[in-house]
Chains A and B, each alone.
Chain A
């Protein structure tokens, strides 16, 4: 970070938060990848496997993405303002961090799904999505189409988490705010992933064309939700006072 100027530091800061975050959680990510691979292999000792480990890993990843975005923002606000960074710059850095994180996790999820498809094929298992009526992914094309909305999904979860984190910091309620917000958020997530026509991983049905709505309408709704979330989060960040320290 030696060539920092006031114009580029928000980008450098965003990249810095991203790499710090990867370093900080490196072992958790490795553990998640191992679990996504190992659990179906262990289950496979006793029965034929018909669902994707990576689908579950992706579900964990999106919730975790939300918690991480909120937690980082919440704890970084005073630290960054104290070193003379403006709130606008923090909002910009969170945007850079979010983009990189979403991209990295979408790529990791895609790689995981594709690799899984390959060895499930070899073992004669079917890569299914865990639903009331299991939804098998039969070709690489179907896998790819299934993964396609993930960047948008991660982005929405990241923004949702950041919005909650920003709200918690902005209001004096602090972490107490999470007591009502977390169950509501999880219930919403559960609802979206179970109830037709939203389907698993919630945008999936639209993009894969299984829903009754056009995938483009669904994508547009998601983008609108995302845009609103980004706007609201930025607004909260930019107006947030730095709270006093507990005496």
Chain B
């Protein structure tokens, strides 16, 4: 019973400024999504709408096919974990975890198992936790919510690399154990890329791209070689970035089909891969005109 998500013509304004402009987005149920975007692009605003933290200025936000705002049967099965979590700082870690029991689906035993695994001190107060441990606590409340739509917004902040790795592992295990819809918003793109099925890139309040992760991997390419040959092959392609070093030129193209790939190879150009992160950087470059 995973939740699908539909946004229809959604606009969100904070006073004068427009955080999201006319967004249309459909997320199918039961997949892991990566939500990417530069700071201030609208990622958190988008997630806030999906969790009914905020109401759109206009448009419709449907989760599980129903309007999400003030919908108890839906929001009780939607979890948004914001950076550092939402806790009463004077609570003990244990009672901060048990606040989750307000969700009928909350799995307290699983939460405690995770707390043990990640070495969370249950008796400490939330405010006494280090940033990393606080993020762990937040992540645990998200996993143990056993929600149908679970969203993590920059939840990794302060976690060290082994902890992040263990968190991703746990997330994947939980997902395979009980299919549900997951949205991860993060700047550590290469770290999470393999866990994702689809990627949504938001930029300046709009959805820039929404596609399967494979569509990104192996879609772009970097062509390096003598400037004139690079120019000849890249002519007519969408060039995301160019770099020159003496007579050598390197051009990053958004897409490279088999035919052009062969031409590039014949011309003796070096064809390098463009990872999701590099592609993201190019796609959201403010100097880039058009999409």
Contacts and interface: CB of A to CB of B under 8 A. Distances in A.
| Physical contact A–B (CB less than 8 Å) | yes
Given A6-B76, A75-B88, A84 B55 contact: no
Interface string A1-29: 11011100100010000000000100000
B99 A83 contact: yes
B259 to A, nearest CB: 47
B100 interface: yes
Contacts of A86: 52, 70-72, 75
Interface string B150-175: 00000000000000000000000000
Nearest to A85: B102
Contacts of A241: 48, 53-55
A238 interface: yes
B76 A78 contact: no
B79 interface: yes
B272 interface: no
A80 B84 contact: no
Given A1-B101, A82-B80, A85-B102, A244 B44 contact: yes
Interface in A75-116: 75-76, 78-89
A188 interface: no
A78 B82 CA distance: 11
A241 B103 CA distance: 20
Interface in B96-110: 98-104
Contacts of B77: 84
Given A6-B72, A242-B54, A82 B102 contact: no
B212 interface: no
Nearest to B96: A79
Contacts of B73: 6
Interface in B30-50: 44, 48
Contacts of B195: none
Contact of B104 (A4, A24, A87): A4
Contacts of A80: 99, 102
Interface string A56-83: 0000000000000000000110111111
Nearest to A78: B86
A29 B124 CA distance: 24
A84 B70 contact: no
A85 B54 contact: no
Given A89-B72, A245-B83, A84 B48 contact: no
A48 to B, nearest CB: 44
B64 interface: no
Contacts of B102: 1, 4, 9, 13, 80, 83-85
Contact of A84 (B54, B79, B85): B79
Contact of A81 (B52, B81, B84, B104): B52
B77 to A, nearest CB: 7
Nearest to A242: B53
| Most central of A2, A24, A78, A82 by chain B CB within 10 Å | A82
A82 B44 CA distance: 14
B87 A4 contact: no
A85 B76 contact: yes
| Most central of B73, B98, B102 by chain A CB within 10 Å | B102
B199 interface: no
Interface in B143-198: 145, 147
B256 interface: no
A6 B104 contact: yes
Contacts of A81: 51-53, 75, 86
A79 B75 contact: no
Contacts of A239: 55
Which 8 A-B pairs give the minimum distances between C-beta atoms?
Answer: A82-B86, A242-B53, A84-B76, A241-B54, A78-B86, A84-B75, A86-B72, A83-B102
30 contacts: A1-B101, A1-B102, A2-B101, A4-B104, A6-B73, A6-B76, A13-B102, A75-B88, A76-B88, A79-B86, A80-B99, A81-B52, A81-B53, A81-B75, A82-B51, A82-B79, A82-B82, A83-B100, A84-B76, A84-B102, A84-B103, A85-B76, A86-B52, A86-B71, A86-B72, A89-B72, A238-B70, A241-B55, A242-B48, A242-B54
Interface of A: 1-2, 4-6, 9, 13, 24, 75-76, 78-89, 238-239, 241-242, 244-245
